[in-house]
Amino acid sequence: MKVAINRWCKVNEIQILVLGFAAVIFIGAILLSLPVSSRSGQYTNFIDCLFVSTSATCVTGLVTVDTGTHWSNFGQFVILCLIQVGGLGFMSIATLFALLMGKRITLKERLVIQQSLNSFSIQGLVKMSKYLLKFTILVEIIGATLLATQFIPEFGVAKGIYYGIFHSISAYCNAGIDLIGEFRSVTPYADNPLILMTIASLITIGGLGFFVWQEIYSFRTTKKLSLHSKIVIISTVILIVGGAILMFIFEMNNVKTIANMPLRDKIVNSIFASVVPRTAGFNSVPTADMTEGGKFLTIVLMFIGGSPGSTAGGIKTTTAALLAITVVSIIRGREDAEIYERRIGKEIVYRALVVATLGMCIVLVATIILCITEKTTLDYIVYEVVSAFGTVGLTLGLTPELSTPGKLLIAFIMYCGRLGPLTVALSLAQKSMPGSIKYPEDKIIIG
């Protein structure tokens, strides 16, 4: 009995990561429920607080109450802190405080950091965390400065700077939560290319991942990029450029979105609409008014998401790219997935397949449940579920209308999307020793 209790009490690094995010969400929900957090000075419904805290910590952007009008300055500050902690990972923040206090980082803590950052090894992780924090602060300051130049003339110096800081952090962390008010996101600035391109750049930088940026920075001396960075960069460029071209084609004659805009604004808004589904829920045109093609393209981009080791969600660009590479390799008669004269191990291909399959299963099951709990059309539900799983934050307007079961389900999907479906599954599964038995091989018909 004692052995069984000890076995259940022990937690591995994956479980620490999962429980750590849950603890941050719960603390955030308690703070947001306090009267000081609301502009009215009254308690906020705890389910809504839990939903918003989950959305901020999981850097999603879906909100059941308007961020700009419901929350006080204290409540908005809590949300901003949750976004920053959720974007960087609570272990990176904890490492910073531990180093400032002069504490050593143990092996167990290094393993948790490795899981949090999706690193290949534990070597140099503490130094990596320092560089990550410095890089983040630098990028966010630059973004805040550019945005403040546009917000100050409209809101004044103090509020303009505050808006610049908030939206810079929200964009870099791929959260997509805004202070504009009335659930408008950045639609009032559809004709302001500096605001849209600054936010799009911050989203892209945050969505690439720090490891890729580190290799790009070191390229001057090393003159080489890892296979991981090459795949991330190429797949990101293809998705952004291809998505922008398709979005322009789908929406160019839509008078409710970009049809009446000048050519410059049409191009800028098409690029913006291609970037934001990569897990940052800002929108410069009304999402509910988009064409069916534009909505479907957005769903596809949201499901893929950003890149590993970044602030983004989704199944990740490398997962989608690896599946495509595997399909092409099999069609060409290869036994393994091959690209750039490199062979990718079958265990990595299996992992990509599991991640994509689990993601599709989560979307499927959640869609079925919401079809029971919510009174709306299928396209609204699918859009909402994929947005939550991809930690995007775009919505067709369903989020504020969700029932209590719907809010709890979407919050859980956001949680799974931020941590990754495989991470959550592994945290719930008990590890077993690899079996020494190898069963006879057999065949089934495929295709």
Burial class for 441, CB neighbours closer than 10 Å (0-12, 13-18, 19+):
exposed
Report residue 111's pLDDT band, with 50, 70 and 90 as the boundaries: low
249 CB neighbour count, 10 Å cutoff: 14
What DSSP designation does 404 have? H
Residue spans per domain, the chain: 9-119+127-426
Locate tokens 């099999």: which residue?
Answer: 330
* Least confident stretch, 112-116, 255-259, 307-311: 112-116
> 343 - beta bridge partners?
338
Which H, E and C letters describe 301-358, residue by residue?
HHHHCCCCCCCCCCCCHHHHHHHHHHHHHHHCCCCCEEECCEEECHHHHHHHHHHHHH
Full-model pTM: 0.87
Indicate whether 4 pLDDT > 50. no
CA dihedral 61, 66, 69, 75 (to 10 degrees): -50
Token reading at 137: 């602060």
- Of 76, 81, 78, 85, give the one whose Cα is nearest residue 20: 85
pLDDT in tens, 134-165: 888 899 999 999 999 999 999 999 999 999 99
Banded pLDDT at 176 (limits 50, 70, 90): confident
Name beta bridge partners: 38. 71
Q: How open is the CA angle 141-231-144, to the nearest 5 degrees?
A: 10
Strand partners for 342: 339
The pLDDT tens digits for 288-325 are 999 999 999 999 999 998 888 777 778 889 899 999 99
Q: How far apart are CA 436 and CA 442, in angstroms?
A: 18
Task: Using CB atoms within 10 Å of the CB of residue 61, give its burial: 0 to 12 exposed, 13 to 18 middle, 19+ buried.
Answer: buried
Which residues, at least 6 apart from 429, have a Cβ–Cβ distance to it below 8 Å? none
Place of tokens 């960069």: 233
Give Dmax over CA atoms of the chain in angstroms.
73
pLDDT of residue 435 exceeding 60: no
Give the phi and the psi of residue 337 in degrees, each rounded to 5.
Answer: -70, 125
Residues facing 71 on adjacent strands: 38
**20 vs 15: CA distance, rounded Å:** 8
209 phi/psi in degrees, rounded to 5: 100, 140
State pLDDT tens for residues 390-427.
989 899 999 999 999 999 999 999 988 887 776 666 55
Which residues, including other chains, have CB under 8 Å from residue 98's CB and lie 6 or more apart? 104, 105, 109
Query: If you search the block for the tokens 């950003």, which residue do you land on?
Result: 306
- Residue 282's nearest CA partner among 271, 292, 291 is 271
Contact 122, 114 (CB under 8 A): yes
Task: Please name the helix (run of DSSP H) or strand (run of DSSP E) that holds residue 385, with its range, or none.
Answer: helix 378-389
Distance CA 152, CA 160 (A): 4
Average pLDDT over residues 249-256: 95
Distance CA 393, CA 414 (A): 9
The residue length of the chain stands at 447
pLDDT of amino acid 236: 92
Cα–Cα dist 45/384, whole Å: 21
* Contact (CB, 8 A) for 175 and 87: yes
- 153: CB partners within 8 A, 6+ apart: 160
pLDDT (0 to 100) of residue 338 = 82
Phi-psi region of 306 (alpha: psi -120 to 50; beta: other; left: phi over 0): beta
Q: Answer whether 281's CB lies under 8 Å from 176's CB.
A: yes
What percentage of the chain exceeds 90 in pLDDT? 54
CB-based contact 139:217 (threshold 8 Å)? no
The confidence band for 80, taking pLDDT boundaries of 50, 70 and 90, is very high
CA distance 57 to 151: 26
As a whole number, the mean pLDDT across the chain is 84
Q: Which two tokens stand for residue 213?
A: 């940026």
**Contact status, residue 418 vs residue 391, Cβ threshold 8 Å:** yes
Task: Give me the pLDDT at residue 417, please.
Answer: 84
